[in-house]
Amino acid sequence: MNPLLIDPALRSGCENIPELKDVLASAAQSQRSPIDDVLDAGLVDEERYMRELAHDLDLEWLVSIPLPDEPMPLREACGPSVALKHRLLPVEITGEDGEQRLKLATFDPFNLIARQAAAQELELPVDWCMVSRKRLYEALRRLYGVGADTFEKILEGRDFDYDAIDVGEDEANIIDQDEDEEASVVKFVNQIIREALDQRATDIHVEPLATNLQIRYRIDGRLIEIAVPENIKALQSSVIARLKIMAHLDIAERRVPQDGRINLQFEGQTIDVRVATVPTVEGESVSLRLLNQEKFNLAKLQLEPFVQKKIESLLELSNGIILITGPTGSGKSTSLYSFLSEVNHPERRIVTVEDPVENKLSGVMQIAVKSEIGLTFANALRSILRADPNIVMIGEIRDLETAEIAIRASLTGHLVFSTLHTNDAMGGISRLVDMGVEPFLVSAAVRAFLAQRLVRRLCPHCKSPREISDQDKSDLGIPLDLPGEAFNATGCDRCRGTGFSGRLAIYEVVLITSAMQELVAHSAPSSKIREQAFRDGYVPMRSYGWHKAMQGVTTIEEVLSATSSDFDGT
Ligand SMILES: [Zn+2]
């Protein structure tokens, strides 16, 4: 056995050398280069192992790979077909004119085929260096754009065959990596979608501009333009036609907006995609919303214990309304789905009315509102109440009619979950009254108002501790006795330099206790209601946020900005 591959593992803290030896032996037997197998087996810490290996081989180790200001010369020195096929990254062109050399990074110095390809197909002589596989993949995507190898082959190939974008129904929407070497728009589009799923994007926007076709992903609520191959504009109409075919839209109709759906198969999972086209002056733009079939549960919300306890007791109720408030994009659906998953037992019948159904829950009857055919929240609700549910979830209460049916349902022994478009928990009370609901009905039916906002989660790989004085804490309103440490966002390769990765909801809960019922029924002034809430254990959302900030889960700034609109100093 080659000690070259084992010594670095020993030094980087690998705990299972016998298994590592097995992996190496089987790679040797099938004459594969062993590095992929070693990394895939998860036996070593990729970063440390590869750094040790580079050291032993006396190759330069790259800690980070900045995108050059002028990427074109690098792309020309090593075209996407060599780079992406052999997983080699051009890093820098060194030397004077006529004596130039190319610094080329690999994660697998034992891959002889790749080294041969570099020697034969690249014009410049090569100086090798090493980088981790993860970082190399990321840098390749940045330098060449998603699907660049496929794209290049399409352009090299024959005149574009329009029929090739329309594959059979069955195979159409399976987008797992195929070994198929043939380049096609189908494959190119699949690469764009697959990349979006890998990056946990919630939306993909394909937007024709005058000189380019722009592709953007929405990740953690923010739009990010992704690198696409040069000259992608040449394929604009084919890419858009392919997406429309996948969504069963009329590809000949380009003047009016169309809506459709795609059911994608990806790594054995079904992913529901809502597709909308909009005609623009530069051509049709296509938006895809990826409705992940996410698994929901209460634990994932990472509730602070004082809120967790309240929610658990609410979920045990057999009737009443639990309302979640917050603006669009504050994560209300995730909370609703998590609550429903918690109460989803075989002996209970759960029915939802949603617009649209964002995620499917097994064992739950879900109805999508279709107002164009008269299936409104109110109509759908009326009919499902006849179908004897125990628990009802209403996507949103927007009008008096829906509010009244929800109240009736709760008073006749149903537990009802819904959302309201208001800023804070206490605002929910006045919102219902403003809609025209009698205050005594609000007090009789509603059990709790929850409000929530999303804050960005700090990237665990690069967050840095932050000194914060007692004076600053008092100024901000952070209790001095709150344990923990605050952190700042920094930014690294793994979080696209943003310092954040994913999001987390912060909450506040107002329970409608019997004392509170009294006040609500008699339309007490909001100051009285607020005082009572505090007596009932209300903790404002900003205070909830401080717990998360002092646990190093998010930053102080995130909490401040998420709670600025409704903060009144208490
Ligand atoms: Zn980071």
CA distance 127 to 148: 24
pLDDT digits (tens, 9 = 90+) for 350-381: 999 998 887 778 788 888 888 788 888 888 88
- Find the helix or strand (DSSP H, E) in which 6 lies: helix 3-11
For residues 24-39, average pLDDT: 84
Residues of the chain with pLDDT > 90: what percent? 47
Between the CA of 461 and the centroid of ligand 1 the distance, in Å, is 5
Q: Of 44-53, 121-130, 490-499, 504-513, where does the model show the most confidence? A: 504-513
Between the CA of 506 and the centroid of ligand 1 the distance, in Å, is 22
CA distance 86 to 44: 23
Between the CA of 463 and the centroid of ligand 1 the distance, in Å, is 7
Between the CA of 555 and the centroid of ligand 1 the distance, in Å, is 14
For residues 470-494, average pLDDT: 92
Q: For residue 502, what pLDDT band results from cuts at 50, 70 and 90?
A: confident
Between the CA of 262 and the centroid of ligand 1 the distance, in Å, is 33
Between the CA of 491 and the centroid of ligand 1 the distance, in Å, is 4
| DSSP 8-state symbol, 80 | H
Q: For residue 156, what pLDDT band results from cuts at 50, 70 and 90?
A: low
Between the CA of 341 and the centroid of ligand 1 the distance, in Å, is 32
Between the CA of 487 and the centroid of ligand 1 the distance, in Å, is 12
Between the CA of 459 and the centroid of ligand 1 the distance, in Å, is 5
Between the CA of 173 and the centroid of ligand 1 the distance, in Å, is 33
CA distance 107 to 96: 27
Q: For residue 176, what pLDDT band results from cuts at 50, 70 and 90?
A: low
Between the CA of 198 and the centroid of ligand 1 the distance, in Å, is 17
Between the CA of 457 and the centroid of ligand 1 the distance, in Å, is 10
Lowest mean pLDDT among 3-17, 108-122, 177-191, 475-489: 177-191
Angle at 291 between CA 427 and CA 349, to 5 degrees: 70
pLDDT of the residue at 262: 87
Tokens of 547: 């717990």
Between the CA of 458 and the centroid of ligand 1 the distance, in Å, is 8
pLDDT of the residue at 163: 46
Between the CA of 413 and the centroid of ligand 1 the distance, in Å, is 49
Between the CA of 406 and the centroid of ligand 1 the distance, in Å, is 44
Contacts of 266 (CB under 8 A, 6+ apart): 174, 175, 176, 194, 197
Question: Beta 283-291 vs 320-325: how paired, if at all?
Answer: unpaired
pLDDT at 158 over 60: no
- Find the helix or strand (DSSP H, E) in which 26 lies: helix 17-29
**175 vs 300, higher pLDDT:** 300
Angle at 528 between CA 523 and CA 532, to 5 degrees: 110
**What is the distance in angstroms between the CA of the first residue and the CA of the last residue of the chain?**
68
Residues of the chain with pLDDT > 70: what percent? 92
Between the CA of 378 and the centroid of ligand 1 the distance, in Å, is 46
Between the CA of 199 and the centroid of ligand 1 the distance, in Å, is 14
Which protein residues have their CB within 5 A of the ion that is ligand 1?
A: 459, 461-462, 492, 494-495
Tokens of 296: 């929901």
Between the CA of 55 and the centroid of ligand 1 the distance, in Å, is 25
Q: How many CB atoms lie within 10 A of CB 211?
A: 8
Give the closest residue to 552 by CA, choosing from 500, 475, 476. 500
Give the position of tokens 């009737």: 319
Q: Where are the alpha helices (DSSP H) in 30-144?
A: 34-40, 46-57, 72-77, 80-86, 112-121, 133-144
Q: For residue 297, what pLDDT band results from cuts at 50, 70 and 90?
A: confident
Give the closest residue to 291 by CA, choosing from 326, 332, 312, 262. 262
Between the CA of 42 and the centroid of ligand 1 the distance, in Å, is 21
pLDDT at 186 over 60: yes
**DSSP-assigned states of every residue in 377-419:** HHHHHHHHHTT--SEEEES---SHHHHHHHHHHHHTT-EEEEE
